[in-house]
Amino acid sequence: MKKLLAVTFSFVFLGLVGCASTGKVSSTDQVKITVLETIPRGDQPSWVKNGKDFYQESGKMFYVAVAEGFTNLEASKRASFASAQTKVAEQVKNTIGVEFGRSLETGMYEEATGGYLKDVFMSNVNKINISGVVVESTYTEKIQEQKGDDSKVYYRTYSLVSIPEATYKDLVKRAFSDTSAQVTQNKSAQDLLVEAEKRFYNKEEAAPVATPVVTTTTVVQQ
């Protein structure tokens, strides 16, 4: 792995003041980004380079989050991990909700019953406390940002975290169990839940965990 001493990227923002007529860029509008140091030293790891926020491998679900703008290294690491934990919770719940909705929609039911059941189910999903998030790796860049005479130095930390796929499946079971207990007095909803649960797990046999809809999560310290 090559040692990284300093990698410099220059980003130029076109300004309108003083240069609009000639098309030239004022030096005061140029932003220069320099990576002063990496922790650990070396190139970005593959899980940073590939730009994926989520992937599955070896029976685990992996999530990536970024925090930047912190002048303290440990604060940057803590913020990145907190961001990753939030992402895991949001995306796991989103995945369960999406897959339940698909399982529900493939059946025949009255709209009122389906709407009621989905509301109860998602209420239970949102109450789930997701634990067991493990930090697999971190990668930090010490950044110098210079614009004209102004310069600032801060850290950008990437965190790779994971949860076992088994944990995801346990959360699904809990959501179905809690929902079943709440709709026992509603025969139509109970029957619909049983049908949806069968379809949910039939899908899991073909694809153990559905890929969630993910968005990049970045924490920026102002």
Residue 154 has pLDDT above 90, yes or no: yes
Strand 54-57 and strand 60-70: the pairing is antiparallel
Q: Is the pLDDT of residue 7 over 90?
A: no
> 28 versus 157: which is more confidently predicted?
157
In percent, the amount of the chain with pLDDT more than 70 equals 77
Greatest extent of the chain over all pairs of C-alpha atoms, in Å: 75
Residue-level pLDDT at 11: 35
Top pLDDT among 54 and 23 is at 54
Indicate the pLDDT class of residue 78, thresholds 50, 70 and 90: very high
Angle between helices 165-182 and 111-127 (to 10 degrees): 130
**Integer Cα distance of 145 and 155 in angstroms:** 11
For the cut 80, the answer to whether the pLDDT of residue 34 exceeds it is yes
Pairing of strands 218-220, 60-70: parallel
Mean of the per-residue pLDDT values for the chain? 81
Distance CA 21, CA 32 (A): 24
The per-residue pLDDT for 132 is 85
Q: How far apart are CA 40 and CA 162, in angstroms?
A: 20
Cα dihedral 94, 100, 102, 105 sign: negative
Report the candidate in 189, 181, 157 with the shortest Cα–Cα distance to residue 71. Answer: 157
Q: Is the pLDDT of residue 36 over 60?
A: yes
Please give the span between the terminal C-alpha atoms of the chain, in angstroms, as a whole number.
Answer: 34
Residue type, 171: L
Name beta bridge partners: 134: 162
pLDDT tens digits, 168-212: 999 999 999 999 999 999 999 999 999 999 988 886 543 444 444
Q: Does pLDDT of 23 surpass 80?
A: no
Strand partners, 219: 67
Q: Which pair of structure tokens corresponds to residue 13?
A: 């923002």
Give 119 or 7, the one with higher predicted confidence.
Answer: 119
- Region 13-24 average pLDDT: 42
> In whole angstroms, how far apart are CA 120 and each of 126, 176, 189, 194, 219?
10, 10, 10, 14, 32
Strands 60-70 and 150-164: antiparallel
* Residue 24: predicted pLDDT: 55
* Stated pTM of the model: 0.71
